[in-house]
Amino acid sequence: MLDRDAVIAWLRESDQSRLFELFAWADRVRHESVGDAIHLRGLLEVSSFCVRQCAYCGINATNRTARRFRMDRDEILAAAREAKGYGYGTIVMQGGEDYGIKAEWMADIIRAMKQDVGLAITLSLGERRPDELKLWKEAGADRYLLRFETSDPALYRLIHPALPGGFEDRIQQIRMLQEIGYEAGSGVMVGIPGQSWDSLADDIMLFSTLDLDMIGVGPYIPHPDTPMGAWMLEGRGEVAFPKLPEGEQVPGNAETAFKVIALTRLLCPDSNIPSTTAIATLNREGGRRQGLMCGANVVMPNLTPAKYRECYEIYPNKATLVETAGVCARNLKDSFEQMGRFIGSGAGGRVRH
């Protein structure tokens, strides 16, 4: 079992032969713990409206350049049928924290989707009231994703301001989701301004403490129309983000994300870990494949209709903007077979050992 000091040492490691050993170790643990299946979860971005003012996110409420949309019931159910046709076991409905998505409206869609296609349903709709989360679980939702982004309380408050009069504890909310009966997923960004190696190690150690069913890791990609992106890219903005001593700032690159995926697999051997779109955006040629070779076992092809896809711009130039769902499904099958892996069947839920 890795301890915190070992995790920090691996995060700081730059010798490529040593990193090859780490990635091979994580890949062996993945094979032994969750097998060679790669589970496909169709990602459907249902709304770009959001009430939050997260400093890193391109659809935050203060971004006046963001283009807003909300998919209707028929569009969502049509996408679910498309996911079923491609053989996906799960559909993931993701959106901003949009209170225009009423609880009963979403519950009706969940019931209809379960009856129509029978897929596992994952929700990623931000912080919602306990009664809403319970309603969606009773309607048939299986999983809920709520990323805590960083375990550093001061950094979290800076990048994720609370709503007026509110105070959020995402760790507590993740535990609440588990108590309701959801398979709970979370994750972090790698390379947030002010994120140190020690802080990132704390994030990784927290994953195992939370007993998460799914863990997402992606590099931070600056968006110019956000406070954090403007500060990083152009040195402007009202908020000053922490500058760490030389060598202490975690870089937001693909290699660091691969390290975190590998270490997460070693500490959480039976959790589902995706090779994320953000990694593929930084490394379009081989990022997704490399993530799968470092311990990941999930890929989330994008099902969002083309007319909405460009509007859901959490960060710029997403890899999925030019990738249709049909082409992606065919290409993934061929790529997985070349790796000696195969597309998993069914919902692909966590199998605890």
How do residues 190-200 score in pLDDT, each as one tens digit? Answer: 999 999 999 99
173 Cβ contact list (under 8 Å, min separation 6): 127, 146
Residue 236: pLDDT over 90: no
**In this predicted structure, what is the pLDDT of residue 286?**
84
In the chain, the amino acid numbered 116 is D
pLDDT tens per residue across span 80-126: 999 999 989 999 999 999 999 999 999 999 999 999 999 999 999 99
**In this predicted structure, what is the pLDDT of residue 319?**
65
347 Cβ contact list (under 8 Å, min separation 6): 89, 90, 119, 120, 142
Q: How far apart are CA 239 and CA 158, in angstroms?
A: 9
Structure tokens at 259: 């390290």
Q: How far apart are CA 114 and CA 97, in angstroms?
A: 23
Burial 253-268 (b: 16+ CB within 10 A, else e): ebbbbbbbbbbbbbbb
Residue 329: pLDDT over 80: no
Under the banding of pLDDT at 50, 70 and 90, the label for residue 242 is confident
**CATH class of the domain comprising 4-339:** alpha beta
The mean pLDDT of 297-323, rounded to a whole number, is 85
96 Cβ contact list (under 8 Å, min separation 6): 47, 48, 49, 50, 51, 52, 59, 126
**Model pTM score:** 0.94
CB 212 within 8 A of CB 184: yes
